[in-house]
A and B are shown apart, each in its own frame.
Chain A
Amino acid sequence: MKLNSFGRLGLAPWLPWGRKHDLPAFLRAYEAGPWPDPHKPWREARYVVLDVETSGLDERRDALLAIGLVEIEDGRVRLDRRWHTMIRPPEGLLVAASSIRIHGLMRNELSTAPTFDEILPALIERLAGRVLLVHVARIDVGFLNRALKPYGTKLRGPILDTARIAITQHQRSQRLGEVSHDMPMPAIQLRGLAGSFGLPVYGQHDALNDALTTAQVFLAQAARMDQQGKHTLKAFLKSGGV
């Protein structure tokens, strides 16, 4: 009785029996966690390294067209658990022809691709319980949150940004005098960064190749941070958390 009246009064949304009640079970499970313990060594956490392809840079106007991801477990990239999917844009959201060419995604491929609604359970299963690892988080996180909004949820759990780690590492080197003070920030563009570590760059731009490149950049950064005495996920989040 009492509870129902709360609901009628419109006080329910932040209470578990309010908005949450409407979430599908898999999203409720996602939100409930558990998330990796930040005090444990970074290697013990599981990561999902993700990259998206979009029709533009504005998540409110442009569409999410593809998602690629690989996982990192025990400090190793798992190619056997790679995942790549295209996403059919919502009806009425026209995709500019120019951006389609950029990503090499064909219009007819997209027209037969599953919708975001259809891939959502598979995506959520891969994100659950893992640290999300992206390069330049604003784009990927922005688009994903925008896509999740109609479902009444958003990304949870810790997020690491390899571009941000690159910047803090550069600032650290400047502070320690390892690079000259006026030395400009090295490339934080993904391929440039991979090149600076002498890492291979995989194929042409597509979500899976870029996720794989990001994953290797992260392993190289992690090896260096390890040597700087930063062993825990918490220390990593301090250097490049979002």
Chain B
Amino acid sequence: MDEIVTFLRSYPPFDKLPNEAAELAASQAQIEYFATGSDILIMDGPPAQFLYLIRKGTVDLVHMRTGEATVVDSLNPGEGFGHRSLSRSEPPVVTVKAHTEVLAYLVPAEIFHRLCEEYDAFAHYFSASSFDRLISMAQQRDVDASGYLFQTRVRDLIRRPPITVRPDTTVREAAQRMREENVSCLIVDLPPYGFHDVNSGIITDRDLRNRVLAKGLSYDTPLREVMTAPATSMPADSLAFEALLLMLERRIHHLPLVEDGRVIGMVTNTDILRRQSSSPLFLPRQLERARSIEDLRNYGDQVFDAVAGLLDAGASVTDVGRVVAVAHDALLQRIIRDAEKQLGAPPAPYAWLVLGSEGRYEQTLRTDQDNALVYADDHPADAPEYFSALAELVVEQLVQCGFPRCTGDILATNPRWRQPLAKWQATFARWIEVPDEEALMRAGIFFDYRQVYGKLNAEAELRPVIQRGRGNTIFLARLARAALRTPAPLTFFRGVALERRGDQKDLLDLKHRGTALIVDLARIYALEAGRSETSTVARLRAAWREASVSEVDAERMVNAFELISLIRLRSQRSLIAQGAEPSNVVVFPELSHLDQRGLKEALQAIARSQRGLSMAFQTDRLIG
């Protein structure tokens, strides 16, 4: 009995209350034990009869909506639940499920009300409204997005059957038809007629403007000369978000939806975005409208807003990374085209490469530039000078748009990273053949390259050199050993190992002791399997068959990567919103219990794969 009182008194709110409060609660309490996975309270079920205080184990608060269960939070020993339902005599707004075996002290309703009346601190701590805020946040997330962008099928956005015309219809008739039907695009039915298959064409109001009026074509021009065929289409079962991404990547605004090989309707960007305020889809439009670099000054901020909106909408980090890549690539391409206009046509084919996180499609919030330039071996004498000027111009303008230079000077403006193809091939080959410290560090950045602009095909010319590393066990083992130098931050008892920096303690660096570890592992697997994917998730999913990782562990790492990145991104986003510098470091105990538990499991997954890699390459035996 005394022991229960002592336990209650070591947690809020009893720690701030006189001993009698805890004694009253303990003397009248009941004790219940719940098996793992059992439901303690059921959402919309009978109201709670007790205030539940967890003595042992963990419970999940699960929000159920249309068959989807979302874990809103988890509670640990010393924490309580049931008070909202108890104080209002209303059905619980979440299901409370035992995540482990749970031992709970139950304070009966009568005693709960008495404590509320006698002690304001008690009443305040267990006020229903504090709980409501948590739930309404969860519901908000649900409605905003997962309930929308990530749960809606585009089929559900179709408002009417497609309006179709024949290819010999004139543009004048097409425009009249658009006005009558009040639509902004038509499907052009191609032979065999009456069967609107995936090869059907499309004509939009923008086509009429850009391809007919702007070019001064006659109003009697038949559609077959100005339409797009076959139109980019998508299965009607796709998610709204997938449709959004496809439109973004292809820079289109209308998407025919296909079922069983036939077009059954249309969806437009506005159909999808009606409920999204800041959308990544507006970014390319802004690029088109910008007349000079001055208009793009705040492009970085706008990408940030779009990312913030996507995060609120429940997007995964992989989704966010794709959107950001499209947005950044579009900006880069625009800047390079402008630079070419200024400097004249390039003297030789070249490729503009983005490196590191940008190469892996993992750029999210504001980050540094990391880039390099490759040009053809067969070039005129003035080419180096031209590319030097081009690099200076492009890098400077990126700075203007809010993307600072890389502190390590890995930039196309650095002559070392602006070379003809043969030099690059030799450099890559040397890093693999002579894997010294510098080579290993460079490989980690440059081997994750991605071409964003240019006529020279860097993928075909450079990737095979990297793939030669596949059979080079010394290179792979050195890379493995370097990757294992930073172990997953776990204590001997498999808890999370936290750091102290100055006055601050309980810190966890989510990048250097989290995502970076997974990125390194995934790169090694990809090299081991000779895969050309650069994104970490794609590497993990593609490489496990031929790499020293099991499918299960690879999938665990994908989840770990998504989770750690998401927590990092959310924390950075709130820092930026407060006007602070984004940081990779979080104060572990300040995270929600759910995040804490998830992080612990994620770090354990990393440790597991690290052990596997260590065994596969016998890194402990490697000398030198």
Interface residues of A (CB under 8 A from B): 75-80, 82, 197-203, 208-209, 212, 215-216, 219-220, 222-224, 226-227
Contacts and interface: CB of A to CB of B under 8 A. Distances in A.
B90 interface: no
Contact of B30 (A76, A203, A208, A224): A76
B14 to A, nearest CB: 16
A203 B103 contact: no
Contact of B31 (A79, A197, A209, A223): A79
Given A76-B106, A198-B56, A215 B3 contact: no
A21 to B, nearest CB: 41
Contacts of B30: 76-80
A79 B1 contact: yes
B196 interface: no
Counting chain B CB atoms within 10 Å of each CB, which of A82, A215, A216 scores highest? A216
6 contacts: A79-B28, A198-B57, A200-B56, A202-B1, A208-B1, A227-B35
A203 B1 contact: yes
A211 to B, nearest CB: 11
A208 to B, nearest CB: 7
A199 B26 CA distance: 17
Contacts of B1: 79, 82, 202-203, 208-209, 212
B33 interface: yes
Interface string B25-54: 011111111110000000000000000000
Contacts of B57: 198
Interface in B459-492: none
B212 interface: no
Contacts of A227: 35
A170 to B, nearest CB: 18
Given A75-B32, A198-B101, A199-B56, 6 more contacts: A77-B32, A80-B27, A200-B56, A201-B3, A202-B4, A226-B35
Counting chain A CB atoms within 10 Å of each CB, which of B29, B32, B33, B106 scores highest? B33
B7 interface: yes
A46 B32 CA distance: 14
Nearest to A226: B35
B34 A223 contact: yes
B2 interface: yes
A165 B361 CA distance: 58
B25 to A, nearest CB: 10
A216 B35 contact: no
B63 interface: no
A216 B31 contact: yes
Interface string B208-222: 000000000000000
B33 A200 contact: no
A223 B3 CA distance: 23
Contact of A216 (B28, B34, B103): B103
Interface secondary structure of B, over-half rule: mixed
A133 to B, nearest CB: 14
Nearest to A75: B32
A50 B420 CA distance: 87
B29 A79 contact: yes
Nearest to B98: A223
Contacts of A220: 33, 101, 103
A232 B4 CA distance: 30
Contacts of A222: 33
B35 A76 contact: no
Interface in B563-612: none
Contact of B7 (A199, A200, A209, A224): A200
A215 B57 CA distance: 18
B322 interface: no
B28 A215 contact: no
Contacts of A223: 33-35, 101
B8 to A, nearest CB: 12
Interface in B234-275: none
A215 B4 contact: no
A147 B33 CA distance: 34
Contact of A219 (B29, B32, B106): B32
A179 B56 CA distance: 24
A36 B55 CA distance: 30
A201 B6 CA distance: 13
Q: Which 9 A-B pairs have the closest CB atoms?
A: A219-B33, A77-B31, A223-B35, A76-B30, A202-B3, A76-B32, A80-B28, A79-B29, A203-B3
A121 B103 CA distance: 33
Contacts of A197: 101
Nearest to B34: A223
Contacts of B7: 200
A93 B2 CA distance: 32
B30 to A, nearest CB: 4
A201 B524 CA distance: 50
B23 to A, nearest CB: 11
Contacts of B55: 200
A119 B583 CA distance: 69
Contacts of A208: 1
A78 to B, nearest CB: 6
A216 B33 contact: yes
Contacts of A76: 30-32, 106
A198 B4 CA distance: 15
A228 B601 CA distance: 28
A222 B3 CA distance: 23
Nearest to A79: B29
Interface in B87-111: 101, 103, 106
Nearest to B25: A79
A178 to B, nearest CB: 16
A80 B32 CA distance: 14
A171 B27 CA distance: 37
A28 B571 CA distance: 71
Given A76-B106, A79-B26, A80-B27, A200 B3 contact: yes
A209 B106 CA distance: 18
A77 B50 CA distance: 14
A222 B103 CA distance: 13
B2 to A, nearest CB: 6
B56 A215 contact: no
Contacts of A198: 56-57, 101
Contacts of A215: 31
